[in-house]
Structure formats: C-alpha cells, structure tokens
Amino acid sequence: MGELIGLYHLDRDLESLVKFVDSKFGVPESIMLELPTNWRKHQGRLTNEKYFHRLAEEYESRGTRIIAGDKNRHIVEPPLSEWLLDLEEKLRNGEWNPNTLTEWSKEFFGVVGEILRYKFLLNWNMLSPSKDRIRNQGFLEAFNEENPEVIVVGDSHARYLKSERPDVHYTYFMTDSPLNHFLHARDNIFWRRVAYDSLQVSPSSRS
C-alpha cells in the first residue's frame, strides 16, 4: 500500500520534502505526482508550476518511475495564446533576438501579461467544485490503476484520496516555518474534514 503525502507545494520547501522522502523510502520504485499526463511535453513552459516538475526530474534521474496523477488537469487548464507558444519555441531554440529595446520591452511585458492572465483563469477554474471533483476523480483513477509506492500531491487532493481510500496511510507534510504553521492551522479550523494519520514537520530549507 502506497504512502500518501499531502502538502502545500511551496518551492522553498522542496529540498525538505526530498530529504523526508529519502529518509523514509530511500529511492522509491514509483512515485505519483500532481502532474498532467503530458507533463514531459510541457517541461520548460513559462506557465508551469515548477515544484512537481523539479520533483519528477529529481527522482526520475535516480531511476524512479514517475506517474502523472493529474489525469484531468485539462479541465482547469486555460488555453495559451499562439503568440506565447511561438515565443516559447523561439526561447527554447535560442531564436529570440529582439533588435531594439522597444521590441524587447514589448515582448517582455506581453509575456508578463499572458502569464498573469493564465494564472488568473487557472485559479478561477480551480475554485469550481464540479471541476475540482473531476480532477480528484482523475487522481483516484491513477492511484488505483498504478498502485504507486509514494504519492505526493496538494493536500486538498490528498484529503480526497484518503476519503476514498481510507486504507492508505496519509501524512501531512510541512516545514517548521510561520507560513506553514499558519496554513496548517487555517485548514484545520475551516476545511479539514479528513484526518491525516501522521504529521511530519521538517526543518525549513531556509532556516
């Protein structure tokens, strides 16, 4: 039976999570992450949340099988403009060479605007209870089909998986920082309906 780890995926805590997983499991045979099924195609995308991509790269380099658990991510994913996709392609190929400062500024601020638009629409979509249910069902399908040794997902998804699979051991992971203690207390007061089996408080990577 896999180990379920729920957390707030803050980039500053990634190193602490890796140390915890290493200390408890060594190198897992398989790990399910909050990644869409086409995550490899989207590596390096400007709009990517880097946390789970970096986690996948870390463990894949050690021979761990990466399982993309966010099978229904498309339900909340806003479309990207063709302009941004073309610019990303130029950046990857080293072909972005603006000739003037004006051209550079126009495209730079255009990218910032596109990313802000994307983030706003993504967060808006994630507020939809119906879309959240569909996403969670995708996590459950991946979990049941792949039987991963370790599962690392955002805590709201971890709570859902625990509610559907009460037999799995569920650890809430956080670092010993004021922000994480606040988030943990807030969730316990307002939203937590499913209890975790273990609480792991690791030293902060930035302590």
Contact status, residue 56 vs residue 66, Cβ threshold 8 Å: yes
Which spans in the chain are helix H? 14-25, 50-60, 82-92, 101-126, 129-146, 155-164, 178-190
Span 23-35, mean pLDDT? 95
- Fill in the amino acid letter for 187: D
Name the residue among 44, 70, 69, 76 with its Cα closest to residue 57.
Answer: 44
Residues 108-144: tens digit of each pLDDT: 888 888 889 988 999 999 999 999 999 999 999 999 9
What confidence tier does 206 reach under pLDDT thresholds 50, 70, 90?
low
Average pLDDT for residues 186-195, to the nearest whole number?
89
Q: What percent of the chain has pLDDT over 70?
A: 98
Among 16, 205, 34, 46, which Cα is nearest to 117's? 46
Per the prediction, the chain carries an average pLDDT of 91
199 pLDDT exceeds 80? Answer: yes
Which pLDDT tens digit goes with each residue over 40-62? 987 777 777 789 999 999 999 99
| In the block, residue with structure tokens 């789970």 | 52
pTM for the structure as a whole: 0.89
Specify the DSSP element, H or E, that contains 68: strand 65-68
More confident residue, 83 or 146: 146
Phi/psi of residue 153, nearest 5 degrees: -145, 165
| For residue 146, pLDDT beyond 60 | yes
The predicted-structure confidence for 159-175, as pLDDT tens digits, reads as follows 999 999 999 999 999 99
d(CA 180, CA 155) in angstroms, rounded, equals 12
